[in-house]
A and B are shown apart, each in its own frame.
Chain A
Amino acid sequence: MTPLQFEELYQTEWQELAGLLAKAFDGKSQDGKHAQIRGERVAALYRRACEHLALARARAYPAYLLERLEQLTSDAHQLIYQRHDFGLASLRRVITADFPRAVRAHAAYVWIATALLVVPTIVIGSLVYYKPELILSVVSAETAAQYEQMYSDSAESIGRTRTADTDWMMFGFYISHNVGIAFQCFAGGLFGGLGSIFFLLYNGAIFGAIAGYLTERGLASTFFSFVVTHGAFELTAIVLSGAAGLRLGHALLAPGRRTRVQSLVHAAKECSVIVYGLTAMLFIAAGIEAFWSSASWLPHEVKYSVAAACWIAVLGYLTFQGRRAD
């Protein structure tokens, strides 16, 4: 059979398939049209086109014919095998089961990341508390003064004179700053986990230094009542991003029976659900930090009770949610 005869014989089928595909790709924007396409007809035509492509290749038919069939089959392939995992149902599954399960599946990494964040916080924190001048080896003098002024009881301190406008501004700042840190912490895992380790230690050290310094200055109550509520979400999320990064690093360093790249792909896929979850947690944290933590007119008792509730909720969610089988 010559190429022209071949084309003559099957072209109506190809045209029909191309028509259906065009309809499927356009129809998505307006409702109704999408439903009119008969899936089994597309599948049948697609399989036919695959056969024709295989035949055309085996017979070394001219390039334009091959490319026409390649284009047709690859478009149909995209349509038939595309995933439909966007909707609300899958979002619900991520929240009620997948995210906490993924965190528990990576418990070892989570504990290591926790240690990497908490140990420098405690060590640097107590060092600075007993020797306040050490703060200068962690942050600059201006930054230290800034923090001191921020949490002091003077009129300029957090939450006293802040307007709704500033709250919104800080909300934006917290989102971009904190999510940025978390994402860096995750991506740093690509260097054998070293980047994640560095960011965890670094952020722990800074946090410890400032906490120790402000406590020594007698500003502990302002500072802790400010950080404790959103910390439930923010610190947990940073730990989780570090844990996900460590997982990537471990997958690269010890790939087991996979190749390094396969192992990395596998780890990244498993971690992606943790990244969804921690991003959501950081958005919640930014909201709390901007609109609740900064409201210093609230009595400390209220703040600490809410903070306790948040911590219990977050840790309880990660520990118990989704344990039962679906």
Chain B
Amino acid sequence: MLDSVVAAETPEGIVLELRPAGLSARFYAFLFDWLIRLVVFYAAAFVGRFLGGIGVAFWIVLFFALEWFYPVFFELGRSGATPGKRAFGLKVVMDNGLPVTPAASLTRNLLRVADFLPAAYGFAIVSMLTRSDCKRLGDLAAATLVVHQSKPAPKVVLDMVTPLAPARPLEQRDQAAVIALAARAPTLSVERLDELAALAASVSGDEGRSGPEVTRRVLGVAQWLMGRRT
């Protein structure tokens, strides 16, 4: 299996699929957060200059808070993600798919120090590249995952195709494959769609042939399988 899906079973007996975010997505999110922190930090330095000692104190405490608690603050919020993670559609959850707990968020962010070693997040990178669930050391200890927030799949729209009964009885797997092809149809180029439809041509009784007409007939079968008869 090439997919790096982590399955989390709920007490209701269904399996939620969590898609762990890889190194590159997390790196961009980190970079984004780092830039935000940099901007806030310099803005505070600018304001702090006019306030004397209290300004400096404020600035130092802010630096400290940004360094250690910036991620904790946002991860415990409603979205469960820092602004950077949100921008790249990522989110921190527990291993079982639940929202991250305060203790876990604190743990994973304090252990960032260990992840940073020996230099430039060396251990974090090695750990994320060697594990299929892409956890860094802090995630391991806190039992958290950084996952892609799922976007709803587009609905299968095949209104312009007339339904067609399959030429032979289809197994459930075959039915699923034909419907999946129909679902992907809007995202494929016409030529590629024809090519793929040619592979499935047997469902509409068009073995060995290909072309726009065959594609239309295969999509018609998909339409029929979805339950539309007219």
Contacts and interface: CB of A to CB of B under 8 A. Distances in A.
A56 to B, nearest CB: 10
A67 to B, nearest CB: 4
A93 to B, nearest CB: 13
Contacts, number: 167
List the 6 closest A-B pairs by CB distance, nearest first. A165-B53, A2-B227, A176-B64, A172-B60, A4-B227, A172-B57
B22 interface: no
A47 B57 CA distance: 53
A248 B227 contact: no
B179 A179 contact: no
B54 A165 contact: yes
7 contacts: A61-B179, A168-B57, A180-B68, A183-B113, A187-B110, A268-B107, A268-B111
A54 B14 CA distance: 6
B98 A81 contact: yes
Contacts of A25: 78
A50 interface: yes
A265 B170 CA distance: 48
Contact of B153 (A67, A81, A273): A67
A173 interface: yes
A10 to B, nearest CB: 14
B114 interface: yes
- Interface on chain B toward A: helix, strand, loop, or mixed SS? helix
Interface of A: 2-5, 25, 28, 46-47, 50, 53-54, 59-64, 67-68, 70-71, 73-74, 77-78, 81-83, 85-86, 163-173, 175-176, 179-180, 183-184, 186-188, 190-191, 195, 248, 261, 264-265, 267-269, 271-273, 275-276
Contacts of B78: 25, 28
A86 B110 contact: no
A67 B110 contact: no
B150 A184 contact: no
Nearest to A276: B106
A63 B184 CA distance: 10
Interface stretch (B137-145, B190-198, B201-209): B137-145
A77 B117 CA distance: 36
B176 A190 contact: no
Contact of B60 (A53, A59, A176, A272): A176
Interface in B108-134: 110-114, 117
Contacts of B102: 85-86
Nearest to A268: B141
Nearest to A264: B141
Given A169-B53, A190-B114, 15 more contacts: A60-B173, A73-B16, A81-B98, A83-B99, A179-B68, A183-B110, A190-B137, A191-B114, A195-B114, A248-B141, A267-B141, A268-B141, A269-B103, A272-B104, A272-B107
